Chain A
Amino acid sequence: DAKTTQPTSMDCAEGRAANLPCNHSTISGNEYVYWYRQIHSQGPQYIIHGLKNNETNEMASLIITEDRKSSTLILPHATLRDTAVYYCIVTSRGSQGNLIFGKGTKLSVKP
């Protein structure tokens, strides 16, 4: 599975959009981009995933560049409850089951 690079931490004002970048320059054609988040000491929460096209659900939007080498997770109106560590993971559907979690981005939403 391809390696990902994320900023260590980011701040966002409450009510503003939070844009979390992820670099995955070695992604291959059959690999998906997944985003999870983990609020302190809880289990990771699935947010969204995509292959090539931009995706949107009730939680967030995922923007994938045309060359697929990077992506951005967008939380349109961040709240204090969105404070968490956000993980960008690249994995192929046929991978050996495990997700490889890096260190993620610590997002702090401030009032």
Chain B
Amino acid sequence: EAGVTQSPTHLIKTRGQQATLRCSPISGHTSVYWYQQALGLGLQFLLWYDEGEERNRGNFPPRFSGRQFPNYSSELNVNALELEDSALYLCASSETGTSGARNTQYFGPGTRLTVL
């Protein structure tokens, strides 16, 4: 069974540009989560999508946004890039985001975003 996939692996942008990161969840999973891991820092929760809806977002500015498509894949968009947005962006998926025994999150390999 294929795991969570993310693309691209690496992305280089300049300050002020927009970045789009993509995530495909494990087959059968409806929830997708985005996390940011800046160099030397811990993982910070960004966004949670479930059944096409944004369910929760972390303490990030509105220029971080995303969406979830009908096939449950997801995009993370970062507008007006700043140098401090350079980080590893991780996507995770789970069978469901609601209470129950099936919301263990499984992570993808990440997209390394570098802002110059």
Contacts and interface: CB of A to CB of B under 8 A. Distances in A.
A94 B97 CA distance: 8
A111 B32 CA distance: 39
Contacts, number: 59
Interface in B102-116: 103-110, 112
A46 B106 contact: yes
A4 to B, nearest CB: 12
B18 interface: no
Contacts of A49: 104
Given A96-B56, A97-B31, A46 B98 contact: no
Interface residues of B, number: 29
B48 A96 contact: yes
B8 interface: no
B37 to A, nearest CB: 9
B30 to A, nearest CB: 12
Nearest to A104: B42
B33 interface: yes
A44 interface: yes
A94 B98 contact: yes
Interface in B1-60: 4, 31, 33, 35, 42-43, 45, 48, 50, 55-56, 58
Interface of A: 34, 36, 41-46, 49, 92-94, 96-104
Q: Which 9 A-B pairs have the closest CB atoms?
A: A97-B48, A98-B45, A43-B107, A94-B99, A93-B99, A101-B43, A96-B56, A44-B107, A97-B56
Interface of B: 4, 31, 33, 35, 42-43, 45, 48, 50, 55-56, 58, 88, 90, 92, 97-101, 103-110, 112
